[in-house]
Chain A
Amino acid sequence: MERADTGELFRAAAAGDNAAWKELVTALAPLVWSIARSYRLSDADCREVYATAWFKLVQNLGRIREPDKVGAWLASTTRHECLKIARTTRPVQIDDHPAVLDLRSPEPTPEEVVVEAEREADRRDRVRALWLGVQELGETCQRLLRVLLTNPPPSYAEVSAATGLAVGSIGPIRQRCLARLRAILEERGIR
């Protein structure tokens, strides 16, 4: 999925164009959400962080000097809101996380129904196994991958703003994390 030109959309939205704002939201909502998720906050906290980031963008419509970097601005704002909440609350244990609990529940969840419709059973098992493999990685890898895996894919500048990692180190860390994940999957006999 190709992403729309967010700089153009932002300029139009800042000039009052409702339709452009909606397109901008559609393009960047998955990124904002994935950042909130990457900090292992509760569902309620994720929603609050997500809404706060967008509201802050609205409040700063006239003050953003580099519209082409609106994605990175949002990513950085989202990260700061996550850190603010993470300082005051206990991080969600990964095992408590609904996304993971769902993987183990015997009843089909709505997500599983989607998978069911899309793929045959072994295909579904593979998707689950990959996702569980990601949960076994260290915190930096999990966070980086969760943001990188956003659809549509974010730019490295946005990933940097979201994770606090330098742009130049994202490529190498990404390779290391994927190699580690491959090792974990291989150990489990998944190829």
Chain B
Amino acid sequence: MSDDLEEELRHAAAVLDPLPDDAVQIAVDAFVTHALDAELAALSFDSLDEPALVRSGETPRLLTFSVPGLSIEVEIIAGRLLGQLLPPQEAAVVVNGRLPLAVDAFGRFEADGIPAGSLSLRCEAPGRTVVTEWLTV
């Protein structure tokens, strides 16, 4: 048996069970969600955790993220995201690191083309920045 068995195994692992092509980009993209002074909004409701009598492919996913004084409610169906800040307040919302969305007078915002995968929201309100807990949708 050769002495460099370990090196051979390292090679085998790299060839037969490699890092997926998009893995580095996924982790690089995670960086855009950061804000050094941001508060972290925890997931406080997820419709997937609720028992459902009938669940079809078109059932919306309902999520609520909360920090003291602010809830972010989100509904996702077929790649479309509808959200609302409660209580309604002046803010900009960044979805998955894209351009900021303005919220309307009722605190609502919407985005299209939300792919299955990770979802992150950053809410920039006067005097505070809130980011949502990591979640896969």
Binds A, one of B29-37, B46-54, B62-70, B72-80: B29-37
- 108-137 of chain B: CB within 8 A of chain A: 118, 120, 131, 134, 136
Contacts of B16 in A (CB 8 A): 99, 102-103, 111, 115, 127-128, 131
Contact (Cβ within 8 A) B31 A56: no
Counting contact residues on chain A (CB < 8 A from B), the size range is 35 or more
Please report the C-alpha to C-alpha distance between residue A102 and residue B18 in the assembled complex, in whole angstroms.
Answer: 13
Looking at the assembled complex, report how far the CB atom of A183 sits from the nearest CB atom of chain B, in whole angstroms: 10
CA separation between A153 and B131, bound complex, in Å?
34
B13 at interface, CB cutoff 8 A: yes
**Per-position 1/0 for B9-51, Cβ under 8 A of A:** 1111111111110011011101101101100100000000000
Residues of chain B contacted by A181 (CB below 8 angstroms): 5
Is A178 among interface residues, defined by CB-CB distance under 8 A? yes
**Alpha-carbon distance between A69 and B40 when the two chains are bound, in angstroms:** 23
Q: Beyond A58-B31, A61-B34, is A51–B26 a contact (Cβ under 8 Å)?
A: yes
A33 touches B33 (CB 8 A): no
- Cβ of B8 within 8 Å of any chain A Cβ, yes or no, is yes
Assess whether B1 is interfacial by the CB under 8 Å rule: yes
Q: Within residues 19 to 68 of chain A, which ones have a CB less than 8 A from any CB in chain B?
A: 21-22, 25-26, 29-30, 32-34, 37, 47-48, 50-52, 54-59, 61-62
Do B33 and A55 have beta carbons less than 8 Å apart? yes
Complex alpha-carbon distance, A99 and B18, angstroms? 9
- Contact between chains at A114 and B24 (CB < 8 Å): no
On whether the beta carbons of A54 and B15 are closer than 8 Å, the reply is no
B58 contacts chain A at the CB level, 8 A cutoff: no
Which residues does chain A contribute within 8 Å of B12, judged by CB atoms? 127-128, 130-131, 134, 149
A146 to B134, CA, bound (A): 27
A149–B23 contact, CB under 8 A? no
Indicate whether A111 sits within 8 Å of B15 (C-beta atoms), given known contacts A21-B31, A58-B33, A59-B34.
Answer: yes
A25 and B15 contact, Cβ closer than 8 Å, known pairs A51-B136, A149-B10, A178-B5: no
Partner of A59, one of B5, B40, B136: B40
**Residues on the A chain within 8 Å of B37, using CB:** 62
The answer to whether B120 touches A55 (Cβ under 8 A) is yes
**Neighbouring B residues of A131 by C-beta, 8 Å:** 9, 12-13, 16-17
User: Can you offer 10 A-B residue contacts whose CB atoms are under 8 A?
Assistant: A22-B24, A29-B19, A29-B27, A58-B31, A58-B34, A130-B12, A149-B10, A150-B13, A151-B13, A178-B6
B residues lining the A interface (CB < 8 Å) = 1-2, 5-6, 8-20, 23-24, 26-28, 30-31, 33-34, 36-37, 40, 118, 120, 131, 134, 136
